[in-house]
Copies of this chain bind each other. A is one copy, B any other.
């Protein structure tokens, strides 16, 4: 119960896959480490719940976007290391582009050109 989960944000549906794929672009990681990486890199804005994480990893595995391998963690515990596949790399590019498009589109609605200082 650290003091920092005060105002974390719940994820929007569909964004977790993208975050995981992007995180694995830097190299293979086990599940727990993926979650912590996302939380750290988002400056603790994003919280990745285990109940979301593992289903997501299995989903990505089944779709062939990542592969898994048994191993041992930094803390000497059994862990599954996930690695981005070539297919996953393509998927990452597609989803990144889609996110950018979406974020820009929503931005245009929230801050229309020619409307300033209001609200």
Most B CB within 10 A of own CB, among A12, A13, A99: A12
Please report the total number of A residues contacting B with Cβ < 8 Å: 33
Q: How many copies does the complex hold?
A: 2
List of B residues within 8 angstroms of A92 by Cβ: 119
**A95-119 with Cβ < 8 A to chain B:** 96, 98-99, 101-110, 112, 119
Q: Do A46 and B12 touch across chains, with their CB atoms under 8 A apart?
A: no
CB distance from A25 to the nearest CB of B (A): 7
Say yes or no: A109 contacts B41, CB within 8 Å: yes
In chain A, residues 38-67, which have Cβ atoms closer than 8 Å to a Cβ of chain B? 38, 41-43, 45-46
Contact between B9 and A105, CB atoms less than 8 A apart: yes
Q: Give the CA-CA distance A40 to B39 in the complex, in Å.
A: 35
